[in-house]
Amino acid sequence: MYRKRQKYNNTKIEIDGEKFDSKKEAARYLELKKSEDWGDIKDLVLQPRYLIAGGFTYKGKKERARYYVADFQYEENGSIIVEDVKSPITRANPVYRLKRHLFLLENGDMIDFREV
């Protein structure tokens, strides 16, 4: 049977019933889960969505809202941390860079953003 090649040659993986887009993201999840168990972080959220452009109607056609979906969000020492696990290839992607830009424009003052 033909298996579709992943866009960035990543291997999808499932841990604890959660699906991850890469082994690197799954490994980071295990690290964060351990930190949460130890009490270093709290309120771990997977795949948090942030509105970056609201929906609207233009000449009678509806344009949908656009979201930035990060990999993880958690609280550490009273600060909200948002993390994205990215390879150098993905970091160079112009679409990713635009979404990241819009996300930070709207949320940069309220969170600590980290690319891992």
Give the strand pairing for 72-76 and 79-84: antiparallel
**For residue 103, what are its two tokens?**
């996300």
pLDDT tens by residue, 69-87: 999 999 999 999 999 999 8
Cα 50 versus chain centre, distance: 10
- Taking CA atoms, 104 is separated from 11, 90, 92, in Å, by 28, 17, 17
Could you tell me the residue ranges of all domains in the chain?
Answer: 42-115
**CA–CA separation, 84 and 28 (whole Å):** 10
pLDDT tens by residue, 1-60: 545 555 555 788 999 899 999 999 999 999 999 999 999 999 999 999 999 999 999 999
